[in-house]
Structure 1
Amino acid sequence: MFRGSLENHLFRKATVPLSWATRMMIALGAAKGLAFLHNAERPVIYRDFKTSNILLDSDYTAKLSDFGLAKAGPQGDETHVSTRVMGTYGYAAPEYVMTGHLTARSDVYSFGVVLLELLTGRKSVDKTRPSREQSLVDWARPKLNDKRKLLQIIDPRLENQYSVRAAQKACSLAYYCLSQNPKARPLMSDVVETLEPLQSASVGANANVVSLSSSSTLGATLAMSAIPDYRMQMHHGFAGNVGARAVCRSPNPNCSPGGPAACRVR
């Protein structure tokens, strides 16, 4: 039994606001869905990731729907797929809109927009707001990497029922997903790894962590790919999202050509 789309639950004023734990659970489930597509033997780019295409069942388990715009991803030495620009305004990655060059990192940008919607309770594009606030990314992204400002953009309907540290990490993740440079964005498997501990931090700034039952864990277990440089940037610059011990492994085929050897962080 489905409850409807994430869009309906997040933006309809008549519905009970989603809690922090539920929002992070939905983000994690959707991230696992994208990671599954990107890590397939023949990678698939979803191309139209947005709140209206995320369906929620009775347990708020996230399911991706409407694969009408999905596209087979690049293979071998290919760096991108060239295609007619399609998708939804406000969610599409800027480099895809400008060039028609589609990569898995295009989906990562769209995920960043949805994560930002979950964090702020605002739509990606809202013409009813003042002109400077109509584009959610333009309004919020500069604040995501500023500890003094980021809590000002968190959805007030959450009523401070979340961990400040978890909010900082989620905002930092959104910041990197929304990078103008697609190579600076994380892989979806890294997004999954970052989100997994955040769904349990649901109470106020100094409160204890609340653990979710195993039945709330969303999606199938996915093989984690290499951790790109963005994780180290987050570690030094903001949230400390990476562990101290890293073991080098062969570079992931989705990483940028000629980049440093990727490491799996444990």
Structure 2
Amino acid sequence: MDNKLGEGGFGPVYKGKLGDGQEIAVKRLSRSSGQGLNEFKNEVILIAKLQHRNLVKLLRCCIQDEEKLLVYEYMPNKSLDSFIFDQTQRRLLVWSRRHHIICGIARGILYLHQDSRLRIIHRDIKASNVLLDCEMNPKISDFGLARTFGGDQSGANTERVVGTYSYMAPEYAMDGNFSAKSDVFSFGILLLEIVTGKKNSGFYCPNDSFNLIEYAWNLWREERPLELIDECIEENCNLSEVRRCIHISLLCLEQHPQDRPSMSSVVVMLGSDAVLPQLRHPGFFIREHLHGESSSPFKNSTTSINGLSNTVLEAR
């Protein structure tokens, strides 16, 4: 169909128009979707209460018989992944624009973690869940997997691990533990992808780095971090600013959650020239042996492609 914008874990998304002429994006829950009524209701309840310039705005919702629809403001530039991972479109994202997008995403996550009425863990921060408006302002979308917390609660444990595997923090993928710091880890990967123009999933490098995180860490230790820069922007970018973003991304990717900065600290670090903390060690996923025998100590890992999770992993 000509008005189909794309399709995700929820189902297809279509472009439409309200009676007053306003353009809209309509998400329709697919009957074959891995997400169900609970995720649908979760998204409606959460996003209806959220108001921030870096979060997508829900306009309407509809539940009638088997039909379930979410009506959002229309984002003409679609999602971030359609730019940074496309050989042609990525050239439109000069460094100043990428930095603007990075800072906007960080402010949106900070609002969820700290400044909204409810403390919210998104659990699926990734490039395809960041939409871009006509001025390329980023807006975080897709709250079907988000969880809310009240009082002093800052995290939880689940036996149903959901989200996108290549963006998951190790403690979440392996043990089902999630918190604001697992969102910080996902942001660190997204930040690295924006700088490099490369996906963490399916990453290949001749030096046998297991993923983009390990590749970035190795270059940092060898004092060659600027080799990470997307070739489309390396001639006209602010090198000190890019290096700082790489440093911040690796801080967000620390192996232990307590070593990662909060999103409030990330926002401050992105907007200042203050000295950044020293890096410890990023969280890597454990390699598999060549013959398929997992090197993970977890023996009940039947659903994860890397033999890491002893929970039910529902990748998206």
Q: Same fold (TM over 0.5)?
A: yes
Quote the residue 1:95 is aligned against. Answer: 171
Question: Deviation string for 1:122-172 (max 9, x for gaps)?
Answer: 0111256558246211221232355x3101111111132122211221111
Quote the residue 2:131 is aligned against. Answer: 55
Q: Is the 8 Å Cα contact of residues 126 and 134 (structure 1) preserved in structure 2?
A: no
Q: Which has the higher contact order (CA 8 A, sep 6+)?
A: 1
Q: Is the 8 Å Cα contact of residues 113 and 120 (structure 2) preserved in structure 1?
A: yes
Question: Deviation string for 1:162-198 (max 9, x for gaps)?
Answer: 2221122111101100000111111111111122358
Q: Is the 8 Å Cα contact of residues 204 and 211 (structure 2) preserved in structure 1?
A: no
Identity fraction in percent: 36
Name the aligned partner's letter for residue 168 of structure 2.
A
Quote the residue 1:167 is aligned against. Answer: 242
Greater per-residue strand proportion: 2
The 3 A distance-change label for structure 1 pair 22 and 122 is same
Secondary structure of the 1:102 match is strand
Match 1:150 to one of 225, 236, 243: 225
| Superposition map of 1:40-51 within 5 A | 40-51=116-127
Match 1:33 to one of 108, 111, 118: 108
Question: Deviation string for 1:68-118 (max 9, x for gaps)?
Answer: 110113642x45211221110110000111111110000000000000001
| Distance in 2 (alpha carbons) for counterparts of 1:73 and 1:141 | 33
Residue 115 of structure 1 pairs with residue 191 of structure 2: yes
Task: State TM-score, norm by structure 2.
Answer: 0.59
How many residues are treated as equivalent by the alignment? 202
Q: Is the 8 Å Cα contact of residues 125 and 134 (structure 1) preserved in structure 2?
A: no
Deviation of 1:4 after TM superposition, in Å, equals 0.9
Quote the residue 2:37 is aligned against. Answer: none
Deviation of 1:120 after TM superposition, in Å, equals 0.9
Q: Is the 8 Å Cα contact of residues 42 and 75 (structure 1) preserved in structure 2?
A: no
| Distance in 2 (alpha carbons) for counterparts of 1:65 and 1:144 | 32
Residue 12 of structure 1 pairs with residue 86 of structure 2: yes
Q: Is the 8 Å Cα contact of residues 74 and 80 (structure 1) preserved in structure 2?
A: no
Task: State TM-score, norm by structure 1.
Answer: 0.70
Name the aligned partner's letter for residue 106 of structure 2.
A
| Distance in 2 (alpha carbons) for counterparts of 1:101 and 1:19 | 37
The 3 A distance-change label for structure 1 pair 165 and 55 is same
Name the aligned partner's letter for residue 87 of structure 2.
K
Q: Which runs of 4+ in 1 moved over 6 A?
A: none
Secondary structure of the 1:132 match is coil
Secondary structure of the 2:166 match is coil
| Superposition map of 1:206-225 within 5 A | none
Question: Deviation string for 1:18-49 (max 9, x for gaps)?
Answer: 11111111111111110000013431000000
Quote the residue 2:307 is aligned against. Answer: none
- The gaps in structure 1 that reach 5 residues or longer are 199-230, 238-266
Q: Is the 8 Å Cα contact of residues 185 and 253 (structure 2) preserved in structure 1?
A: yes
Q: Is the 8 Å Cα contact of residues 144 and 175 (structure 1) preserved in structure 2?
A: no
Residue 181 of structure 1 pairs with residue 256 of structure 2: yes
What do you get for the CA RMSD once the two structures are aligned? 2.2
| Distance in 1 (alpha carbons) for counterparts of 2:250 and 2:197 | 16
| Distance in 2 (alpha carbons) for counterparts of 1:6 and 1:164 | 22
| Distance in 2 (alpha carbons) for counterparts of 1:12 and 1:190 | 31
The 3 A distance-change label for structure 1 pair 89 and 8 is same
Q: Is the 8 Å Cα contact of residues 81 and 102 (structure 1) preserved in structure 2?
A: yes
| Distance in 1 (alpha carbons) for counterparts of 2:206 and 2:180 | 33
Quote the residue 1:64 is aligned against. Answer: 140
Name the aligned partner's letter for residue 14 of structure 1.
T
Computing the radius of gyration from Cα coordinates, the structure with the larger value is 2
Match 1:24 to one of 99, 103, 108: 99
Name the aligned partner's letter for residue 88 of structure 2.
A
Greater per-residue helix proportion: 1
Q: Is the 8 Å Cα contact of residues 154 and 180 (structure 2) preserved in structure 1?
A: no
The 3 A distance-change label for structure 1 pair 67 and 79 is closer
Q: Is the 8 Å Cα contact of residues 101 and 138 (structure 2) preserved in structure 1?
A: yes
Name the aligned partner's letter for residue 135 of structure 1.
N
